[in-house]
Structure 1
Amino acid sequence: MNISELPYYVKWFILGIVIGVVAGLSALAFYFTLKFMEYLFMVRLIAFKPPLPIGEGGSLNYVLHAGRLWLIPVSTALGGLLSGLIVYTWAPEAEGHGTDAAINAFHRLQGRIRRRIPPIKLIASAITIGSGGSAGREGPTAQLSAGIGSFIADLLGLSAEDRRIAVAVGIGAGIGSIFKAPMGGAILAAEVLYKRDMETEVLFPALVASVVGYSIFSSIVGFTPIFGYYTGVFNPLRLPLYAVLGIVDGLVAVLYVKTFYFIHDSFKRWRISNYVKPVIGGLATGLIGLLVPEILGTGYGWVNLAEFNNVNAFASPVLIPPLMILILLPFLKIIATSFTVGSGGSGGVFAPGIVIGAFTGFDAWLLFHYLTPGLTPNPAPFVIVSMLALFGASAKAPLAVMFMVIEMTGSYQLLPAAMIAVAIAYIVSGDYTIYRAQVPTRRDSPAHANEYKVPLIMELKVKDCRIIKGPVVSPSDDAGKALNTMLRLRYTALPVVDDGRFIGLISIYNMNGGRGKVSDYIIRDTQYVTPESTLYDALTVMSKLGTTWVPVVSNGEFLGILTMENMNKAYTERLRSLMPNKQPYH
């Protein structure tokens, strides 16, 4: 049997498992490729080993050792050069942050992602981040999984609609795997496509795929959350402080988006070779990293150190005080990420957003601790809540990011604080989003244009649907048997037909216990539809009759009944036929 003909849940359970396996293996492939590139560039070239997060074997006793830090700009510029050569030679659309490209494929490209994109994105992003570029590993993983999901859909001959779902599921499963956050990844698959909406059909397969991908990835790298387990106790007295933090995060989210796209658009307008732009962006990032090495790479390890208030671990070759570094880090990370990714370098903007949020939370805690030392003894809850509030606002994915950060920190006790902060940050940030490919709602998506722009219910005719002959009764039938038929079929009424002619109907509400003949209860002059009537007309008659079916009559002759179920089938089939499904390209 063709898999596309299977029932929805069966089909997407199978495909969810397949995409989940792909996502888990893709996350592993990218993770180890990135580790290899970090070893080549950071460890061997610069002699600098950045801190690892607890979930990846990191320690809170980290000490920054100054090796050949003066080579940082050389490393990041070289990374930009190699990444640019790979991307702009073979797949220019792989530049920048991959999640946005995958979102764009869902809305505007019928879920089509060129076959060459996944491997190119993997290598280019690993080089960009491994050389010290300020970017995240979630975007490449998302585009990698989404691209292979698109390929699987084509391989199985699925429709354009199913291909789009496969791409969205790939996004969520890839991110859920690399972040060890299956629930957040599944919700992200449905939420990240829109600013104010969700793709509900994605949720079920995304849950399946995320769990499978997470299980495969974590079986190799470990199940400990990336940032370890937060074991603090929730204090409701801090709720007003979390509300203030939400306002701050909303404002910084706007700053992140505006700065990123100002630098991004400036590079786009700059009339120089695209091969040179990532080199310049990498060089600018490297110069910032020369002053503050904490902005290099993903920055996860630094988040853990800030969370547990290890201020002394932060250091600068130019002797900037650790506390000053922590205060400046949110803004320097924004600029570094904007130069790395905005110049055309390959990498994600999710992880930098998490890091920016973490240090914004730490800076806010410094103020709160100064004002209320007894209420705010440590920065951990503010770092965690700020992570999710800031990027939940800038990505317009508050639910998904909230669950992801909770899973990444094991801090479910902070959910009330998270809800308040992320809701306020989301409101304050307005319409600004780091993902330009997002559209406001399903109505605004080209993928759903036919659902809203084509008035199918006004165009489809009754004759386009399957009309069934029964059940019917005749005037001479026993009323009790007719009543039993209605109860058995769960119908509220039945058509009455005499010698092929439509007479009227009987209703369960006036059968008086079913005594006598059907002829005693006929409701005559009953409305009906003809084969040329529209489905809108049929729904109108159903509403007036209070039934889930409508009699179909032509010149007094009874043709059968049209049920709500058969109307829905005809509507769905026509809707799918209107959606273009071109052949895949390479």
Structure 2
Amino acid sequence: MTQAEDHSTLRDYSATNRMLVISGLAAILGGAGAVLAWMLLGLIRLATNVFYFHQFSFANTSPADNTLGWKAVFAPVIGGLLIGVIARFGSEKIRGHGMPEAIEAIVFKGGKVAPRIAVLKPIATAIAIGSGGPFGAEGPIIMTGGATGSLIGQLLHTTDAERTTLLVAGAAAGMSATFSCPLSAVLLAVELLLFEWRPRSMVPVAVASVTAGAIRRLLLGPGPIFPMQPTIVPMHHMAMIGALIVGLAAALLSTGLSRVLYGVEDLFERLPVHWMWWPAIGGVVVGIGGLIFPPALGVGYGVIQRLVTDDITWKLIIGVLLVKSFIWTFSLGSNTSGGILAPLLMIGGAMGAALGHVLTPVSQGAWAVVGMSSVLAAAIGAPLTAAMLAVELTHNGGLMLPVLLACVVSYAMGVLLQPRSILTERLSRRGFHLSREYGVDPLETVMVRDAMHTSVFALSADATRQDAADWLAKMNQRGSEAWSHWQRLFPLVDAAGNLSGVLARSQMITAAEAGELHRPLLDSGSSKPAVIGPRETLRSAAERMAESKLTSFPVVDTNGALVGILNIDDLLTARGKASLRDSDRKRVLTLRWPFGRRQRAVHAIDDIVDRAFESAARDHIELEQAEEKIESGLD
């Protein structure tokens, strides 16, 4: 007989020593992620110089500073043609901004990413951004880092969970190195990529993110990406009201951007041309938008820097909100390669700067920071990541209160306004469903002893086939009432109550009809059945049922004594009761006036309690009588 687990084996966490091994690999990934980010940013600078300045150089330049005039319109078109060719003949997976593809690989593909993605994605991204595409580099580097982690996981003997952890570790390393935001990268992994909060995955991801952040300082330099004057003034209550307003506006803006983006994607789906040509068509719009408002081209870090330092004009604000928003949604809808974080930060910063003209002044660039973080929170559904990212990008912790409030408000409204975020909508269109809500499994908090049946029909260990024949005759005599009984597993116990074996209902019927009624009944069953303990969790029981394909287990204590039976129906019942926490509304406390009629209220409550106990007792008695009625016919 398989022994039941003792309650001392239960732990708060399920991590094993393998976590240390995966953490070591994650540290290597962190270094690789930093190098990949450095290489990608260099490729973007090279592509920018080639497309707009016709020189082979890695100098840091901006497409907005080109002197090509009207000829600059063709740069995004040529870039789009190259991306279409790479996607058509290289890998279709390079299309898009990377994060939905990473989520799809994590959740639905066991952490498996094709190795060529690690090469083709950064090349396509460098071409897209270098030719003027209004994108960020963080999404593609997240996918590239994730592909590298997945490749390592596929080369080694790893489980799906470990391979997924390595993928996410590589993705977090890429973001940490790109934005110099190690903590935000970990939070992004938890809120968007891991879909769990366990030491086995969070520790390696944090190791990779910290390693990438440390090496990034050597490759790309220390300090924040968007430095600004620290906010040292105390937050006035009007500033918090302003943050509330910005959060509401951010939710509306992000919802509008998402709907326009996928509306454009639907428009491209209806075009009578192959998808290979779509990025070039999107490039036409980008080129025209670049003529109207050159700062809308490229990554736009310089524009974000101007927003957070209050070096702004209404021309800049309107240009970002209109031109940048339009060419970004249109070109991204064409399924070219590029990220979404930097454009969302720029658009949100412009919105915050615009509202800052009517809100209570706080400090230089404060409302732009609040705006860009809250738009990001609503768009990707990650308020903690967005709030921390604002701090790490600017090193201005003085804005944490309004930033966090605006992010939470925009996130709350975004959840209510749009059923899918800008990231998961694409997955939904591919036929996948993804829940973004995390919680402890209700079966993890319920013990077997709380759900098992204790009124069990058991037979003696020395029972014979004659007993099975008698049981079958009584079952047939009582008809459907007996056959509908919950018990499908029949234990055999010795004089001390210890479990000696079990028979399934089918085995009982076979034994009753087999003849040779003098033979021991145990010969027709199992003398070493799988068992569970009363102090195991229902989740553990469910996993045992899934592994063994058994739907019923005898429950024995540490001494081997039978104490009950647990069926799969009991798991469903327990899960159903747990769901009542979300749907069953009732008043738990009743307020009482401090003066007058106090004694009458007390008596009324006593009466209610007495009636409740009486009702519960009646239900319990009726249930026991029903089971005893059936079991009496079996004895």
- TM-score in same-fold range (> 0.5): yes
Paired amino acid for 1:421: A
Task: Find the aligned partners of 2:537 and 2:247 in 1 and give their Cα distance.
Answer: 48
Other-structure match for 2:571: none
Partner of 1:220: 219
Deviations 1:164-217 (A, max 9, x none): 1211222222111111101100111111138xx654453211111011111222
Q: How far off is 1:325 after superposition?
A: 3.8
Matched residue, 1:535 = 532
Partner of 1:105: 105
Distance 2:334 2:244 in 1: 35
Letter in 1 for 2:223: T
Shift of 1:442: 6.4
Rounded Cα–Cα distance in structure 1 between residues aligned with 2:438 and 2:370? 32
| Partner SS, residue 315 of structure 2 | helix
2:423 to 435, 452, 456: 435
- Where 2:276 maps in the other structure, the secondary structure is coil
- Contact 2:321 2:350 (8 Å CA) reproduced: yes
Rounded Cα–Cα distance in structure 2 between residues aligned with 1:377 and 1:402: 18
Map Cα deviations across residues 134-182 of structure 1 (whole Å, 9 max, x no partner): 1110111011110010110111110111111211222222111111101
Q: CA RMSD in A?
A: 3.5
Could you tell me how far 1:392 is from its partner in structure 2? 1.2
The amino acid across from 1:553 in the alignment is G
SS in 2 for 1:367: coil
Q: Which amino acid aligns with 1:332?
A: V
* Gap regions ≥5 residues in structure 1: 53-62, 312-321, 462-499, 504-529, 542-548, 557-586
Residue 100 of structure 2 aligns to which amino acid in structure 1?
A: D
Shift of 1:335: 1.6
1:326 CA displacement: 1.4
**Other-structure match for 2:331:** 340
Q: Please tell me the residue identity of whatever aligns with 1:329.
A: V
- Residue 172 in 1 paired to residue 169 in 2? no
User: Does 2:248 match 1:286?
Assistant: no
Per the TM alignment, residue 279 of structure 1 is displaced from its structure 2 partner at its CA by: 0.3
SS at match of 1:236: coil
The answer as to 2:413 corresponding to 1:425 is: no
Q: Which residue of 2 aligns with 1:413?
A: 398
Measure how far apart 1:533 and its partner are.
6.2
Partner of residue 88, structure 1: 88
The CA deviation at 1:359 is 0.8
Return the alpha-carbon distance in structure 1 between the equivalents of residues 319 and 256 of structure 2.
14
CA distance in 2, matches of 1:340, 1:153: 34
Provide closer, same or farther for how the CA distance between residues 91 and 552 of structure 1 changes in structure 2, counting only shifts above 3 A. Answer: farther
Give CA deviations for 1:420-472 in whole Å, capped at 9, x if unaligned. Answer: 1001000111244110248224689xxx9x999xx9989xx9xxxxxxxxxxx
Residue in structure 2 matched with residue 152 of structure 1 by the alignment = 152
Distance in 1 (CA, whole Å) between partners of 2:388 and 2:537 is: 44
The amino acid that maps onto 1:264 is: E
Q: What CA distance in whole angstroms lies between the structure 2 residues aligned with 1:550 and 1:457?
A: 11
Residue 396 of structure 1 is matched in structure 2 by: 381
CA contact (8 A) 1:187 1:206 kept: no
2:48 match? 38
Shift of 1:331: 3.2
Contact 2:226 2:308 in 1 (8 A): no
In the alignment, is the contact (CA less than 8 A) between 2:370 and 2:406 conserved in 1? yes
State the one-letter code of the partner of 1:433: S
State the distance in 1 between where 2:391 and 2:363 align. 21
Instruction: State the distance in 2 between where 1:21 and 1:50 align.
Output: 23
Tell me by how many angstroms 1:230 deviates.
Answer: 3.4
The residue identity in structure 1 corresponding to 2:291 is L
Deviation at 1:111, TM superposition (A): 0.8
Structure label with greater radius of gyration:
2
Q: Give, in angstroms, the shift of residue 324 of structure 1.
A: 3.3
The 8 Å contact of residues 48 and 61 in structure 2, kept in 1 or not, is answered as no
Distance in 2 of aligned mates of 1:140 and 1:287: 25
Tell me, yes or no, if structure 1 residue 118 matches structure 2 residue 109: no
Equivalent in the alignment of 2:353: 362
- Deviation by residue 1:329-369 (Cα, 9 ceiling, x = unmatched): 1232222112222202111111111111111111111232x
CA contact (8 A) 1:133 1:285 kept: yes
Native 8 Å contact 1:23 1:174 kept in 2:
yes
| SS across alignment from 1:190 | helix
| 8 Å CA contact retained: 2:196, 2:438 | no
Tell me, in whole angstroms, the C-alpha distance in 2 between the residues paired with 1:552 and 1:441: 43
Q: Is the 8 A contact 2:45 2:61 kept in 1?
A: no
Which segments of 5 or more consecutive residues in structure 2 lack a partner in the other structure?
A: 1-14, 428-432, 453-494, 499-526, 539-555, 564-635
**Which shifted more, 213-222 or 101-110?**
213-222
Report the alpha carbon displacement of residue 553 of structure 1 after superposing the two structures with TM. 2.4
> 1:358, 1:71 → 2: CA distance?
30
Distance between the aligned counterparts of 1:51 and 1:30, measured in 2?
15
> What is the CA distance between 1:97 and its match in structure 2?
0.7
Moved more, 224-233 or 110-119: 224-233
Asked whether the equivalents of residues 95 and 346 of structure 1 are also in contact (C-alpha less than 8 Å), the reply is yes
Q: Contact 1:180–1:408 at 8 Å: present in 2 too?
A: yes
Distance 1:363 1:129, change over 3 A: same
2:533, 2:69 → 1: CA distance?
A: 71
Residues 73 and 286, structure 1, Cα contact 8 Å, conserved in 2: yes
8 Å CA contact 1:142–1:172 kept in 2: the answer is yes
Scaled by the length of structure 1, the TM-score of the pair is: 0.70
- The offset of 1:94, in angstroms, is 1.2
Give the corresponding residue for 2:581. none
Residue matched to 2:264: 263
Structure 1 residues 88 and 531: CA distance shift in structure 2, 3 A? same
Deviation, structure 1 residue 229: 4.0
Letter paired with 1:143: M
Closer/same/farther in 2, CA of residues 35 and 540 from structure 1, 3 Å limit: closer
Question: Would you say the 8 A contact 1:193–1:439 is kept in 2?
Answer: no
Q: Which amino acid aligns with 1:160?
A: D
* Stretch deviating more after TM superposition (273-282 or 423-432): 423-432
- SS at 1:87 equivalent: helix
1:201-212 equivalence runs, <5 A: 201=199, 202-212=201-211
Identity level (%): 24
Distance 2:326 2:196 in 1: 31
* Contact 2:112/2:163, CA 8 A, preserved across alignment: yes
Q: Contact 2:64–2:294 at 8 Å: present in 1 too?
A: no
Displacement of 1:376 in angstroms is: 4.7
For residue 139 of structure 1, what is the aligned residue in structure 2? 139
Deviates most, 435-444 or 253-262? 435-444
For 1:349, the aligned partner's letter is: I
Deviations 1:293-316 (A, max 9, x none): 1111111111111222223xxxxx
* Structure 1 residues 419 and 222: CA distance shift in structure 2, 3 A: same
Distance 1:535 1:269 in 2: 57
Once the two structures are superposed, the pairs formed by residues 421-500 of structure 1 within 5 Å of their partners are 421-430=406-415, 431=418, 432-436=420-424, 437=427, 439-441=434-436
Q: Offset at 1:37?
A: 0.7
The structure-2 alpha-carbon separation of the partners of 1:75 and 1:536, relative to structure 1 and needing over 3 Å to count, comes to farther
Over 3 Å counting, the alpha-carbon distance change for 1:181 and 1:538 in structure 2 is closer
Give the match's secondary structure for 2:402.
helix
State the 1:327 CA deviation: 2.4
Question: Aligned pair 1:551/2:558, yes or no?
Answer: yes
Contact kept, 8 Å, 1:234 with 1:414, in 2: the verdict is: no
Letter in 1 for 2:434: V
**CA gap 1:182/1:539 in 2 versus in 1, 3 angstroms:** closer
